[in-house]
Structure formats: structure tokens, C-alpha cells
Amino acid sequence: MKYEKLDAASIAARLSELNDWTIGREGGAIEKRFAFRDFRQAFGFMTECALAAEKLDHHPEWFNVYKKVDVTLTTHSAGGVTELDFKLAVLMDMAASRGG
């Protein structure tokens, strides 16, 4: 397996480099709520992230209501959080900073 499940200390260290991502599912996932100006921005963000996720072959769990997008990242094949989740988290933060 290429990507190893990270332990709690490694997840905490990596999270400290990011904005507003938190630990979820008792250490089994990382989570963030993205808030946009309106639905158009939120859906633009999701579209951009969907294409990035497909390229990475790593996909978010997410829930959208109007201008909010709740994201949960976990690596199913590893049964927890791996470096891949952080790669996708950084891509999602970059997409959000472009305004969605």
C-alpha cells in the first residue's frame, strides 16, 4: 500500500499547517466547512474540486446546502487519514481561495 494511515500525532502536526481543518470520526478523517458567497460559488468550488479529485484518484465525501460545503476526507483503502487526504485538502483550500 502506497499511502500509510497516519497516527494521531502526525495528523495533528499536518493539521497545524492548514486553516480550519479539524479531526473527525475519532481520528479517522479530517473535516472542514467551506462557506461561500452564494450557491454559484459553492458549486463552482465543487466542480473544480471534483476534477482535481478525479485526477488525484482520491475523492471527498461532502454535503452541500446552498452556500456551504461540509467536507470529510478519509482514505477508504487505508481505513483512516493518509497523506493523500492532505494533498486533497490543500487543493480544496486553493480552489476555495480562488473564490469557488
Ligand X SMILES: C[C@H](O)[C@H](O)[C@H]1CNC2=NC(N)=NC(=O)C2=N1
Count residues near ligand X (CB under 6 A): 7
User: Cβ neighbours of residue 13 under 8 Å, at least 6 residues apart?
Assistant: none
Of residues 19-78, which lie at the interface with ligand X (CB under 6 A)? 57-59, 74-77
Q: Is 1 in the site for ligand X (CB under 6 A)?
A: no
Cα first-last separation, the chain: 33
Q: How many CB atoms lie within 10 A of CB 39?
A: 14
- The residue count for the chain: 100
Closest approach, Cβ 11 to ligand X, in A, equals 15
> Which is closer to ligand X, CB of 67 or CB of 87?
87
Q: Extract the runs of DSSP E, i.e. beta strands, from 1-100.
A: 22-24, 29-35, 61-65, 68-73
Cα–Cα dist 86/15, whole Å: 8
Closest approach, Cβ 29 to ligand X, in A, equals 9
Closest approach, Cβ 83 to ligand X, in A, equals 12
Closest approach, Cβ 37 to ligand X, in A, equals 28
> Which is closer to ligand X, CB of 55 or CB of 76?
76
* Site residues, ligand X (CB under 6 A): 57-59, 74-77
